[in-house]
Amino acid sequence: MVEELANNVTENERSKIQIVFEDNANYFSRNNKHHSQYIKNLFDYFNTHFPNVTEPFNEKDIECVDCQTTIIKLWTTIIYEIWERKII
């Protein structure tokens, strides 16, 4: 289900998501914490494109370290194991 939904995300949206993901990774590398706006955007993108996969993330989840870890793992899987795999 996740793979099918991921493959339905437009190239334009994929690009936006990947930029936010990479910006957050760079911020994390410099500050050892996630950027609150980038994390919020990643939650929002997930809720938009994967509405029935899990319970929707909400505003409180932005401060939740386990939730942040979960959203990063989800996007890592989608970006590198689903989208990037298609290129290789």
Per domain, the residue ranges of the chain are: 2-87
Q: Confidence class of residue 31 from pLDDT cuts 50, 70 and 90?
A: very high
Task: Return the percentage of the chain with pLDDT > 90, whole number.
Answer: 78
pLDDT at 84 over 90: no
pTM of the full predicted structure? 0.90
Rounded-to-integer distance, Cα 69 and Cα 33, Å: 11
Instruction: Tell me the pLDDT band of 34, cut-offs 50, 70 and 90.
Output: very high
The per-residue pLDDT for 86 is 56
